[in-house]
Structure 1
Amino acid sequence: MGAKDQLIEAASQLLWERGYVGTSPAAVLERSGVGQGSLYHHFAGKSDLAIAAMEHNAESLVATAEAQFSGPGTAVERISRWLLREREVLRGCPIGSMAQDADVVAAPELRAPVERTLAWLQGRVTQLLEEGEAAGELAGGIKPAELAAALVAVLQGSYVLARAADSPDPFHRAIAGIMALLAAATAER
């Protein structure tokens, strides 16, 4: 891994752990083991590096989700696999947690990867639900875009509940609840 990739990887982990304010260039340099000259050779400053790190986290989230979404099974089975996959619950979502960072939300260039990734996720789940609706998997009257928004909101919110409780239990209860709603939407067809 080259210096640029080491810096991005270190920054992506630190942003996930500490947020934007808590991720200093010095901490990135220490974690990456790369010299200061490399940081400013590859990036104009902290925000430029943070954007690259958030894009890195976004690409990872999309790839992981897409692996479940494009796998075998019905649309509902693929969504279920995504909801039930193993996660580092107490760390939160590496993208969703950035939406709770006041400095990220206040800066359009920092917020853009977060906004784009969450919009992609909601859109992709909507596509799958539309596919499930067309295949007769879902009950009539289900609105795929609204159900997708609820699924993504519950997933993101369940990270917050788990972190606040310092326990994965609230996360798992919330996911079990959304799975029950999804099952009800399929059972009523």
Structure 2
Amino acid sequence: MSTPERLIEATQELLWDRGYVGTSPKAIQQRAGAGQGSMYHHFAGKPDLALAAVLRTSAEMRETAARLLDGPGSAHERISAYLLREREVLRGCPVGRLTMDPDVMASEALRAPVDETIGWLRGRLTGILQEGLDAGEFSPGIAPDEIAATVVATVQGGYVLARASGSTAAFDSAVRGLLSLLAPHTTSAPAV
């Protein structure tokens, strides 16, 4: 792996674990096994490197979600696959956690990819729910955009509940609860 790749990857991990303030240039260099000269040769400074890491993390989240949401199956099956996928629940969402970081939110450059990624996810979920509604899979009258917002909120809130309790059970319970709420509006929903 090239030095810039190691630096970006190290910054991704540190932002996820420590946030922006806790991600010092020295910690990045140590984790990446790179010297100060190498870091500043490839990146203008910590903000530039953090932006590269946030962009990469956002792209990876979209790629992971798209594999499931664009996969085979009914709308309900694809949303269920997204909700039930394996995650590092106790670490939280690497993108969602950035919303709790005041330094990230104060920087338009760092906040923009976070907002765009969450917006993309809501939009993709809305589209899938609309596809299911158009195909008669869901009861008429559901609001795809509101359900999409609920899916995103359940996942992000599930991470918070799990981290607070120190157990993945809280996340799993939130996901099962959402699927059970969606089931009566699904004409062919599998048992949850």
TM-score higher than 0.5: yes
| Structure 1: unaligned runs, 5 residues or longer | none
Q: TM-score, normalised by structure 1?
A: 0.97
What is the rounded CA distance, in whole Å, between the counterparts of 1:159 and 1:177 in structure 2? 14
Counterpart mapping for 1:126-145 below 5 A: 126-145=126-145
Is the contact made by 1:90 and 1:167 (CA closer than 8 Å) also made in structure 2? yes
What is the rounded CA distance, in whole Å, between the counterparts of 2:176 and 2:50 in structure 1? 34
What is the rounded CA distance, in whole Å, between the counterparts of 1:141 and 1:29 in structure 2? 54
% identical aligned pairs = 54
Following TM superposition, by how much is the alpha carbon of 1:87 offset from its aligned partner in structure 2, in angstroms? 0.4
Cα-to-partner distance string for 1:69-94 (whole Å, 9 max, x where unaligned): 11110111011100000000000000
Is the contact made by 1:20 and 1:101 (CA closer than 8 Å) also made in structure 2? yes
Amino acid at match of 2:108: P
When the two chains are superposed, the root-mean-square deviation of aligned CA atoms in Å is: 1.3
- Quote the residue 1:54 is aligned against: 54
Is the contact made by 1:139 and 1:188 (CA closer than 8 Å) also made in structure 2? no
Amino acid at match of 2:44: A
- The reply to whether residue 21 of structure 1 matches residue 25 of structure 2 is no
What is the rounded CA distance, in whole Å, between the counterparts of 1:38 and 1:112 in structure 2? 27
Runs in 1 of length 4+ with deviation above 3 angstroms? none
Is the contact made by 2:80 and 2:179 (CA closer than 8 Å) also made in structure 1? yes
What is the rounded CA distance, in whole Å, between the counterparts of 2:188 and 2:140 in structure 1? 8
- Quote the residue 1:63 is aligned against: 63
What is the rounded CA distance, in whole Å, between the counterparts of 2:44 and 2:129 in structure 1? 42
- Count residues with an aligned counterpart: 189
Is the contact made by 1:68 and 1:78 (CA closer than 8 Å) also made in structure 2? yes
Following TM superposition, by how much is the alpha carbon of 1:187 offset from its aligned partner in structure 2, in angstroms? 4.0
| Structure 2: unaligned runs, 5 residues or longer | none
Is the contact made by 1:54 and 1:113 (CA closer than 8 Å) also made in structure 2? yes
Counterpart mapping for 1:1-189 below 5 A: 1-187=1-187
Secondary structure at the residue paired with 2:71? coil
